[in-house]
Amino acid sequence: MFKKILIANRGEIACRVIKTARRMGIKTVAVYSDADARAPFVQMADEAVHIGPSPAAQSYLIADKIIAACKQTGAEAVHPGYGFLSERTSFAEALAAENIAFIGPPVNAIAAMGDKIESKKLAKAAGVNVVPGFVGEIEDTEHAVRISDEIGYPVMMKASAGGGGKGMRLAYTEKDVREGFEAVKREGLNSFGDDRVFIEKFILNPRHIEIQILGDKHGNILYLNERECSIQRRHQKVVEEAPSPFVTPKMRKAMGEQCVALSRAVGYYSAGTVELIVSGADPSGESFYFLEMNTRLQVEHPVTEAITGIDLVEQMIRVAYGEKLAFTQDDVKIDGWAIENRVYAEDPYRGFLPSTGRLIRYQPPVDGWEDDGAENGRRGVDGVRVDDGVYEGGEVSMFYDPMIAKLITWGATRDEAADKQVEALDAFEIEGLGHNIDFVSAIMQHPRFRSGNLTTGFIAEEYPEGFHGAATSDELKRTLAAIAGFLATARADRARRIDDQLGGRLRPPSDWAVKIDDVTYQVELSEDEVSVDGAVIGLAMEYTPGDRMVHAEVDGKPLSVKVDLFRAGFKLTTRGAIHTVQVLEARLAGLTRHMIEKIPPDLSKYLICPMPGLLVALHVREGDAVEAGQPLAVVEAMKMENILRAEKSGKIKAVNAKAGESLAVDAIILELE
């Protein structure tokens, strides 16, 4: 077995590989940029080599620096993780030339499957169902329009070398193609160094199913069941689960065998994933089509590990060393259900805008990387696993992917795994930047998600007006009112004891008027119980004023609530929603009707930059007339282009920025008369 391997990646996947290597007795080498000098993966590795400035193009994407680090440390093999150089044939070839093992598939397989255009041709030749589309090279926008008209709308435009949701645009009309084609080319060039684009038919009511492949160098290729990855935003996966609630045993076998046949046709070995699009409108489940093959480990691989008990990273290392797979297709089972949510640095309350910055507080529900045995490594602690690569006080920078962590839960049933997600998300503490914890918690609780009726349009269909918090039951609101009364009493008691604000002889109030969403609850506390509107609630909790989190039991069931203070009450966050809770002594509650309401200013005449980013293009000048919905500017953030449109019709009064400028969040780009 290898004695030392280098991980040519960063963040949580570098930590993930190091953990398995450590368990196998293999020494590890990390490589890091300026931005990652204090990152957890650098601390975890046995050795670390600095490879350059923060931008990936000057560090993680330079193969020569990776090879030099191998020579410097004596690393015998390289695990590429995902992204960066993981699917670059030139990198695998350069390693081979230096007699350094590549922990991944053979070069010819990367070349065949890594190019989305060529892979579709190969799949079609192998008898695999492919989505109707144009698989040649597209000359320009006019050519793209003609192709789209021939295929029939809607169509999907994709960068040939794309991945991770970058370089993709859905077009319902010719106008969409004209607006989006050049942006897809630019994103492909900026992110992958390849501006080729292909266009294919967009399948209506689609489900995104993928098959995990694992093969060795001796001709053994297996499929390790499927993953459902239908819940996506901007073609970026948000929720993944295994198995799929849609796939039947017959369908699983048909998909798996077809994907194995395709893998065998290109001489594949190592871990890989064949992605399929399935028509949810076909109840037989037989309408599935090849999308692409990812010749690397997937971000969502932990859910497969949880239900199969197979450590995919370990198998990749063993295959690269030349070992045979120690199990057969008949040994691959499905044990329980696993769900993964990606915790991103983005603000769902502001249109999912990227949110870079410092993690002032970061406390996951369980420790991510304690080496507590193979079983816990696959399923975590009590069915909760966190894969992360950040730390409290660290920064989520603009240079890399905005993912903070992956939360994986395992249960005997799908509902049990989803319930564990909700509880663990409530206990996740992140402060300092926006995050999507409330959003993914809302998805986990959504009746449609629980029913298993999923499509890639789930988010757009269920949140057409954006995300404003999960629906909250009356029962939960009453519970929050009880908790708010408890918090207010503790706060008042602290004031009495420390500052004598209530007078040394006075007792803190125990009767409160608690207002949540325009409903006022009467909360009364005694030494041994709390009641809301006269009904006793079984509430047990501990709280010290200043605590950011309350862990309570409500009628014997756990509930975690994040607590933020303000003068007249609290902001309580739980179960995917933020509640502004006003708490007043019961005897003072009637005075609120005399308060003056503060109306926020109208900002609709300004085009405001919604995130830190680069102003790529400005489509208007001072004096131009614009219509509502018209594209005004393009801002690039985290390698994604965002089109900013006019909220209303009007005339441009002033332009305050120029293309090429770096803008701060809330910077005013232009003003309407």
Cα 406 to Cα 7, 141, 647: the distances in Å are 19, 38, 35
Has residue 542 been placed in a domain? Answer: yes
Compare 17 and 206 and report the one with higher pLDDT: 17
Has residue 113 been placed in a domain? Answer: no
Q: What is the CATH number of the domain that holds 315?
A: 3.30.470.20
Residue 658 and residue 544 share a domain: no
Residue 667 and residue 560 share a domain: no
Residue 395 and residue 438 share a domain: yes
pLDDT over 70 percentage in the chain: 94
pLDDT of residue 654: 93
Q: Say what the pTM is.
A: 0.83
Q: CA angle at residue 276 from 270 to 280, to 5 degrees? A: 150
| pLDDT band at 505; cut points 50, 70, 90 | low
Residue 358 and residue 274 share a domain: yes
pLDDT tens string 241-276: 999 999 999 999 999 999 999 999 999 999 999 999
Strands 27-33 and 4-7: parallel
Distance separating alpha carbons of residues 421 and 423, to the nearest angstrom? 6
Residue 500 and residue 564 share a domain: yes
pLDDT tens string 116-140: 778 888 888 887 888 878 867 788 9
Residue 342 and residue 225 share a domain: yes
State which H helix or E strand residue 409 sits in. Answer: strand 403-411
Domain count, the chain: 5
Residue 39 and residue 65 share a domain: yes
Residue 213 and residue 342 share a domain: yes
Residue 496 and residue 576 share a domain: yes
pLDDT tens string 411-448: 999 999 999 999 999 999 999 999 999 999 999 999 99
Q: What is the CATH number of the domain that holds 20?
A: 3.40.50.20
Domain end, chosen from 462, 495, 522, is at: 462
pLDDT tens string 377-390: 688 889 999 999 99
Has residue 237 been placed in a domain? Answer: no
Residue 207 has pLDDT above 70, yes or no: yes
Task: Tell me 485's DSSP state.
Answer: H
pLDDT of residue 283: 63
Task: Tell me 499's DSSP state.
Answer: I
Domain end, chosen from 462, 486, 517, is at: 462
Residue 84 and residue 44 share a domain: yes
Residue 209 has pLDDT above 70, yes or no: yes
Q: Which residues pair with 126 in a beta bridge?
A: none
Nearest to 275 by CA among 207, 210, 208, 203: 210
Residue 577 and residue 526 share a domain: yes
Cα 458 to Cα 119, 239, 341, 388: the distances in Å are 28, 11, 15, 26
Lowest mean pLDDT among 20-24, 61-65, 394-398: 394-398
The catalytic residues are 292
pLDDT of residue 578: 96
- Tally of CA atoms within 13 A in the half-sphere of 633 that contains its CB: 28
Compare 236 and 452 and report the one with higher pLDDT: 452
Residue 401 and residue 484 share a domain: no
The string over 611-631, giving b where at least 16 C-beta atoms fall within 10 Å of a residue's C-beta and e elsewhere, is: bbbebbbbebeeeeebeeeee
Q: Which residues pair with 525 in a beta bridge?
A: 530
pLDDT tens string 592-633: 565 566 677 778 889 999 888 889 999 999 999 998 889 899
Q: What is the CATH number of the domain that holds 667?
A: 2.40.50.100
pLDDT tens string 270-305: 999 999 999 876 666 567 899 889 999 999 999 999
Query: Where would I find the beta strands (DSSP E) of 252-398?
Result: 270-279, 288-294, 337-344, 346-347, 353-354, 357-358, 361-363, 384-388, 395-396
Q: What is the CATH number of the domain that holds 506?
A: 3.30.700.30
Which domain does 636 fall in, by range? 606-672
pLDDT of residue 119: 86
